[in-house]
């Protein structure tokens, strides 16, 4: 290596070292204080707070699973589809709940919809062909029936007593591979969800894993009681643990009618509605911050005959306070066809009352 090249390299290094030693680093004025050696907030005597009793352990799910599984069935459907290349058979998988010893089984309407043949497999591996007793697309519920002996039926629970955070199990024919159980908690109550244009009300949201094939199976509490019928799962990128079950309270209104008459008849008011909240009230200059706002009125409907108008806000129905649309839908469904109901509504600044006589909901 030449001396000239060596000097060319060493001189910049020497200058850089000299420059660095001539200046002392001064931190910026707004630099954060150095907490590493601070003792201002330390406490040499600190210990973890004492607990009077140990944290409760997780529940044992095994007794619940053992109790409920014999009451859950796998449902397989066959549908014949015609296409450009001819007809083919499509198979579907779902679940069901035995609800009495006569062979009635509740499931989802979408499980048996368009099925030409329905087969039910019991926990003891017996397989029976099932007949449809009644279906209701509005609630997504259906009842089928098998001719079998020695059936063990489920215990019906009260979903109105549920609390957010309560442990639940979803049991069903997940992925069509046999009945299995998943655990989770109740994450929301009284959920309304629009499913392909049909709004389901009073749903129980749960973190229990719900997969294709679970539809129609039970959501049960830790007493093994059916508090919901699994129906829907939100499927989207980044969404996990968001499944829904039709509450046992809602299902209990529908199932007897399906068994007795083969269909569900709904009382009908004849209005389109929107929930009033403080934001909507402020934006629209409304005089109340709650209730069900009429945004559509069907001609010759009970509501039209009672003198209700678009922009009226229903705040009481049959003695029940109405805070939102779900409250009004629930109140109407719990009424009787032909029954005269007192409706309290707000029009502008005035609160008024009118009687309305409900009729049977027209066919779509």
Give catalytic residue positions: 110, 140, 215
What are the distances in angstroms from CA 133 to CA 79, 104, 229, 231? Answer: 18, 8, 18, 19
Q: Which helix (DSSP H) or strand (DSSP E) does residue 109 occupy?
A: helix 109-112
The Cα–Cα gap between 245 and 61 comes to 20
DSSP string of 295-333?
EEE-TTSHHHHTT--TT-EEEEETTEE--SHHHHHHHHH
- C-beta neighbour count of 90 within 10 angstroms: 12
Contact 105, 217 (CB under 8 A): no
217-256 b/e (C-beta count within 10 Å ≥ 16 → b): bbbbbeebbbbbbbbbbeeeeeeeebbbbbbbbbbebbbe
Q: Say whether 364 sits in a helix, a strand or coil.
A: coil
Place of tokens 């108008």: 309
- Pairing label, strands 131-136, 267-268: unpaired
């Amino acid at each position: 290596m030449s001396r000239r090249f060596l000097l060319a390299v060493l001189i910049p290094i020497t200058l850089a070292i000299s420059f660095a030693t001539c200046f002392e680093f001064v931190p910026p004025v707004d630099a954060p204080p150095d907490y590493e050696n601070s003792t201002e907030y330390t406490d040499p005597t600190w210990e973890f707070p004492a607990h009077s009793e140990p944290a409760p352990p997780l529940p044992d799910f095994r007794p619940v699973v053992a109790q409920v599984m014999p009451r859950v069935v796998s449902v397989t459907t066959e549908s014949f589809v015609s296409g450009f290349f001819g007809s083919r058979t499509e198979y579907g998988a779902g679940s069901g709940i035995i609800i009495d010893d006569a062979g009635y089984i509740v499931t989802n309407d979408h499980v048996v919809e368009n099925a030409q043949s329905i087969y039910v497999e019991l926990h003891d591996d017996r397989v029976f062909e099932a007949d449809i007793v009644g279906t209701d697309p509005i609630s997504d519920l259906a009842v089928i029936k098998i001719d079998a002996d020695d059936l063990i039926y489920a215990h019906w629970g009260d979903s109105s007593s549920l609390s957010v955070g309560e442990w639940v199990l979803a049991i069903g024919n997940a992925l069509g591979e046999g009945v299995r159980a998943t655990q989770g908690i109740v994450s929301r109550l009284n959920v309304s969800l629009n499913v392909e244009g049909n709004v389901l009300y009073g749903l129980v949201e749960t973190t229990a894993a719900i997969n294709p094939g679970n539809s129609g199976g039970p959501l049960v509490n830790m007493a093994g009681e059916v508090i919901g019928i699994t129906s829907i799962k939100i499927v989207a990128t980044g969404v996990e643990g968001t499944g829904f079950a039709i509450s046992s309270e809602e299902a209990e209104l529908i199932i007897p009618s399906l068994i007795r008459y083969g269909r569900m008849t709904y009382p009908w008011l004849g209005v389109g509605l929107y929930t009033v909240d403080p934001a909507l009230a402020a934006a629209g200059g409304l005089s109340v911050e709650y209730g069900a706002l009429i945004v559509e009125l069907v001609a010759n409907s009970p509501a039209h005959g009672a003198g209700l108008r678009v922009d009226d806000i229903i705040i009481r129905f049959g003695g029940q306070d109405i805070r939102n649309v779900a409250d009004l839908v629930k109140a109407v469904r719990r009424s009787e066809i032909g029954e005269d109901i007192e409706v309290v509504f707000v029009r502008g600044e005035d609160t008024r009352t009118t009687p309305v006589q409900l009729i049977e909901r027209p066919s779509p």
